[in-house]
Structure formats: structure tokens, C-alpha cells
Amino acid sequence: MGLVKLYVDVIFLENLIINYIILYLTKRFSKAKTRNLNLFFGSFIGALYVVMIFLSLPDIFYSFSFKIIISILIIIITFGIKKLYEFIKLLSIFYMISFIIGGVAFALIYLVNFNFKQIIIGSIIISILLIYINWGYIVKKNINSNLIHVLHINIKDLKKDIKAVLDTGNTLYDPLSNFPVVIVEYNAIKDILPEGIKNLYKEGNLNDVFKIPEVIKEDEWLERFRVVPFKSVGNDNGMLVGFMPDNVIIDDNEKTLKDVIIGIYLKRLNKTGEYEALIGPELLV
């Protein structure tokens, strides 16, 4: 009986330490504020649940649902009551770190002949290194996903959906109408452009503003086109050809814009294709 009690004490202490490390890493990578005492209490609840396997409790206490409840309780005790988005973020990071440490531990068991304590220490060290090395990429992807919006560009009976990224440096306006300009790759918008404009692009003359009236036969399209001067690195006096759509709907009817100009950019904005347009912050207000 004494041996079992000693074994349970060791299991409790080891899980208390591991849980503390996981919660500390969760705090570090989520940038959430909490006291070390809260980290200890959260770790204590997690370690206490582990030793419940030695007790004769109803099966529900060992079910998947109850484990989720314990995880939620640990996050609440450690970080307090948060907004739903912040809570989900904390819980996700908590699970991610737990799964990484668990996965590394299984890998070490399979690959090497370490004892249990060496595997635990090794898995924690390797997991911390993996998280630190890859965290920048994870955060960047998360930020990009939050900054990307879907634009539904409508003109006459034509429609085009385009992925746009929020660009705080994009403050381009048409000097005549003072309408904001959304910069869109030509390849992303070409499907709804007149054939004459497409031919100008193929000839390399799309920026020749004097040729546009010659190739556009529809008066309605001619009235839509604008020429917007802009400045960029290595191009102090650029001219951006654009047009006025009927409207631009952002993120499935979240916001509809009418007084806006679509500027046609002849190069790629993003090599990976994550987005095809740049939208200024004032269009989201």
C-alpha cells in the first residue's frame, strides 16, 4: 500500500510540473496575463485529475467529455474568464503544446531506450525548441488569415470574387473624385474587363491612357475608367489605370461600397497567391 501511495505521489508531482510548463508556455505564446499562483492552481487541477485513475469513480469521470471539461476548467482557473475568442485561442494553444509534448514523448519512446524521466525531460526540451522555432511562422499565418477579406466586385451583370489583404500603408485616392482605390492584380480582374483592355495588356500598352478610348466601344465602360497617379519605391510618377464598379461587397454583405475605384496592377502582389488585392483600412471602418 505504501508503494502504491509513493507511486501516486510521484505521478502527481511529475504531472504538476509538466502541467505547469504547458500552462507557462501557453501564457508565454498567447501573451495572456496571469499570476504564477494561478499557473500553480491550474497545474494542480490537472495533476489531481491524473491521479483519479487510481480511484474507483464512475466511468463518466474518465470519458472524453469530462476531459474536455477539465481542460476548460484549467484554462478558467489559470487565466480567468475571457471573451469567447480569447478563451478559444488560449484553449487551442494549450492543446497544441500538450499534443506537441505528447507526440515528441511517443517519438522518443519509439526511437530511443531512455527511461521514463529522461523521455519526459527530453520531450519537453525538444517541444520547447520546436515551438520557439516555428512560432513566428504560426503567428504570421494567423495574422494573415485575420487580415484577408473577400471582395465581391460587381459591374453590370458581371461579378468577381477576389481575396484582398488589409494594407495599412494603402492610402491611395483618386485625386478627382477623392474615392479610395483598391489595388487589384490584372490577372485576378481580367475576366470582367472589356476585350479592348485585354488586348492593350497583351500588347503591353495598358498604361497608355490615350489608347483606352480607342479600344473601348461601350460608352458605359469608358465613363467608368479612371487614371490614378501614385508613388511607389522606384517609381515616383506612376499612373494606375482603374475603373468604377457598381459596388464592392466586403465579406459576404458585411459592408457594401459604391464610391470606390478598382486600380489595375500589372504585376503580382503576392507570390504564394494568398491574396490578389490590397485594401486600405478606411474601407473597413
Q: Which three cell numbers stand for residue 94?
A: 494549450
Same domain for 13 and 85, yes or no, is yes
Please state the domain count of the chain: 2
Distance CA 67, CA 63 (A): 6
Same domain for 38 and 109, yes or no, is yes
Range(s) of the domain holding residue 265: 149-283
Position 143 scores a pLDDT of: 47
Same domain for 93 and 171, yes or no, is no
With respect to residue 136, please indicate whether it lies within any of the assigned structural domains.
Answer: no
With respect to residue 220, please indicate whether it lies within any of the assigned structural domains.
Answer: yes
Position 76 scores a pLDDT of: 93
pLDDT grade for 137, boundaries at 50, 70 and 90: low
User: Tens of pLDDT along 176-231?
Assistant: 888 889 999 999 998 888 888 888 888 877 767 777 777 776 667 888 888 888 76
229 CB-near residues (< 8 Å, 6+ apart): 175, 237, 238, 239, 240
Same domain for 6 and 89, yes or no, is yes
- CB of 180 closer than 8 Å to CB of 283: yes
Same domain for 109 and 30, yes or no, is yes
User: Tens of pLDDT along 229-272?
Assistant: 876 544 556 778 888 999 988 876 667 888 899 998 888 887 77
Same domain for 226 and 279, yes or no, is yes
Q: Tell me which amino acid residue 134 is.
A: N
With respect to residue 236, please indicate whether it lies within any of the assigned structural domains.
Answer: yes
Question: Residue 214 phi/psi, 5° resolution?
Answer: -75, -30
Same domain for 278 and 155, yes or no, is yes
Q: 113, 139, 163: which is the final residue of a domain? A: 113
With respect to residue 128, please indicate whether it lies within any of the assigned structural domains.
Answer: no
Q: 113, 141, 170: which is the final residue of a domain? A: 113
Same domain for 9 and 106, yes or no, is yes
With respect to residue 118, please indicate whether it lies within any of the assigned structural domains.
Answer: no
User: Tens of pLDDT along 63-122?
Assistant: 888 889 999 999 999 998 777 878 888 888 888 888 887 777 776 666 666 666 666 677
Position 108 scores a pLDDT of: 65
Position 234 scores a pLDDT of: 46
Using the 8-state DSSP alphabet, how is residue 81 labeled? S
User: Nearest CA to 119 among 131, 135, 103?
Assistant: 103
Higher pLDDT, 8 or 16: 16
Distances 209 to 182, 199, 233, 263, 283 between C-alpha atoms, Å: 19, 14, 22, 13, 27
Position 135 scores a pLDDT of: 62
Max CA distance (Å), the chain: 96
Position 38 scores a pLDDT of: 93
pLDDT grade for 15, boundaries at 50, 70 and 90: confident
Distance CA 53, CA 241 (A): 70
Q: What is the DSSP string of 173-232?
A: B-TTT--BEEEEEHHHHGGGS-HHHHHHHHHT-TT-TTTHHHH---HHHHHHEEEEEEEE
Quote the crossing angle between the two packed helices 2-30 and 36-50, to the nearest 10°. Answer: 140
User: Nearest CA to 151 among 160, 138, 141, 142?
Assistant: 160
Same domain for 26 and 108, yes or no, is yes
Q: 57, 86, 113: which is the final residue of a domain? A: 113
With respect to residue 264, please indicate whether it lies within any of the assigned structural domains.
Answer: yes
Same domain for 108 and 158, yes or no, is no
Position 262 scores a pLDDT of: 92
- CB of 97 closer than 8 Å to CB of 27: no
With respect to residue 187, please indicate whether it lies within any of the assigned structural domains.
Answer: yes
0.75 exceeded by the pTM?
no
User: Nearest CA to 19 among 49, 51, 42?
Assistant: 42
Higher pLDDT, 116 or 142: 116
Same domain for 159 and 278, yes or no, is yes
pLDDT grade for 45, boundaries at 50, 70 and 90: very high
Same domain for 174 and 245, yes or no, is yes
With respect to residue 209, please indicate whether it lies within any of the assigned structural domains.
Answer: yes
